[in-house]
């Protein structure tokens, strides 16, 4: 199988955005609505948005399954308060669940959490539990910066985050460390904020002993790990100066990188520097970079082409496409086994 561990519902029906805009317009007057019940999206509308977009590309590119979560830039945890985020998260997660029931052979859910700046992450646990227990989701997305580019939350190694980690360990699920919209004009959302956050999350883990407290905790750092593979020597050197163990021992039992890197030299670097066992296939199709590369004539986010073009053995490709994903996402592995796959 070829399993894409990084997909977002970026093509949701327009009604979802309309509802969200109404919610934002009434942050100060929530009694004016909108009510959750006023959002009506039919199964046929969901089918149309998926069949014409993600499912079409999935079939064209020869992929089998996508770990599917709400649109990252729409999470926007900085907007409103916890109740705002809780309502919005529940709506978005339910839509992804409905997609997974309409197309069970190709989509399985990962949960958006109702994070809110300054709010105890333990407040997210009911939604996390609902998505795992009722929806059969296999992972969560964890935003290390709910402020939207101002980084006023404690670093990932702080005990502030431990309630989430304890649940992740209990349910044996990974978290994709993924920020949302930047409201700081210094940081373009997808071109800077996302990649900065990937690098920042890795460095926060490097400077800490988080995985001594949680030896089975697993983070997937998206977008190829930001600057991490390119500056692997810098990180090794910093770990050495900080008297930390070698990075393979210190971090690579717990941290994994996806292949949302949109050119061949980038994938070549990733797979040369990072052990293949720590690389998970992903494309984030119809995401941040949707166009066609004039140099190749193919979509930038058709990442399978780069894996096929890399100097890898068939066994290594098998790990990237399937083996590593099933190991890092054991609930996905079990769901597939239950279906005879």
Task: List b or e across 138-177, with b for residues whose CB sees 16 or more CB atoms inside 10 angstroms.
Answer: bbbbbbbbbbbbebebebbbeeebebbbebbeebebbbbb
- Where in 90-145 does DSSP place strands (E)? 107-109, 111-112, 140-142
Cβ pair 3, 325 in contact under 8 A: yes
* CA–CA separation, 145 and 151 (whole Å): 5
48 is an active site residue: no
Two structure tokens written together for 235: 């990180």
User: In this structure, are strands 65-70 and 3-9 parallel, antiparallel, or unpaired?
Assistant: parallel
Name the catalytic one among 45, 284, 308, 322. Answer: 284
- Closest alpha carbon to 128 in 98, 167, 91: 167
State yes or no: cis peptide before 34, omega within 30 of 0. Answer: yes
Q: Show which residues are catalytic.
A: 284
């Amino acid at each position: 199988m070829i399993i894409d561990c990084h997909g977002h519902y970026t093509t949701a029906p327009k009604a979802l955005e309309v509802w969200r805009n109404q919610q934002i317009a009434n942050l100060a007057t929530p009694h004016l609505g909108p009510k959750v019940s006023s959002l009506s999206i039919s199964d046929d509308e969901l089918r149309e948005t998926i069949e014409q977009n993600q499912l079409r590309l999935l079939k064209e590119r020869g992929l089998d399954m996508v770990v599917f979560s709400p649109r990252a830039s729409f999470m926007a945890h900085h907007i409103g308060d916890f109740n705002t985020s809780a309502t919005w998260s529940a709506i978005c997660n339910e839509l992804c669940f409905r997609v997974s029931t309409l197309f069970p052979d190709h989509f399985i859910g990962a949960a958006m959490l109702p994070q809110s700046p300054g709010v105890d992450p333990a407040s997210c646990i009911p939604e996390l539990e609902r998505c795992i227990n009722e929806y059969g989701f296999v992972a969560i997305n964890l935003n290390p910066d709910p402020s939207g580019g101002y980084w006023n939350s404690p670093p990932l190694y702080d005990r502030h985050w431990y309630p989430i980690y304890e649940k992740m360990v209990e349910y044996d699920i990974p978290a994709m460390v993924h920020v949302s919209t930047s409201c700081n004009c210094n940081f373009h959302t997808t071109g800077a904020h996302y990649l900065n956050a990937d690098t920042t999350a890795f460095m926060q883990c490097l400077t800490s002993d988080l995985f001594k407290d949680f030896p089975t905790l697993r983070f997937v750092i998206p977008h190829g790990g930001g600057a991490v593979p390119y500056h692997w020597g810098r990180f090794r050197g910093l770990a050495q100066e900080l008297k930390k163990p070698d990075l393979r021992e210190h971090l690579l039992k717990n941290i994994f990188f996806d292949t949302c890197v949109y050119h061949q030299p980038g994938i070549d670097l990733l797979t040369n520097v990072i052990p293949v066992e720590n690389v998970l296939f992903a494309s984030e199709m119809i995401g941040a970079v949707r166009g066609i590369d004039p140099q190749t004539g193919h979509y930038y986010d058709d990442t399978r082409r780069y894996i096929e073009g890399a100097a890898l053995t068939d066994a290594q490709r098998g790990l990237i496409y399937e083996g590593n994903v099933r190991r890092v996402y054991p609930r996905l592995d079990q769901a597939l086994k239950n279906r005879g796959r």
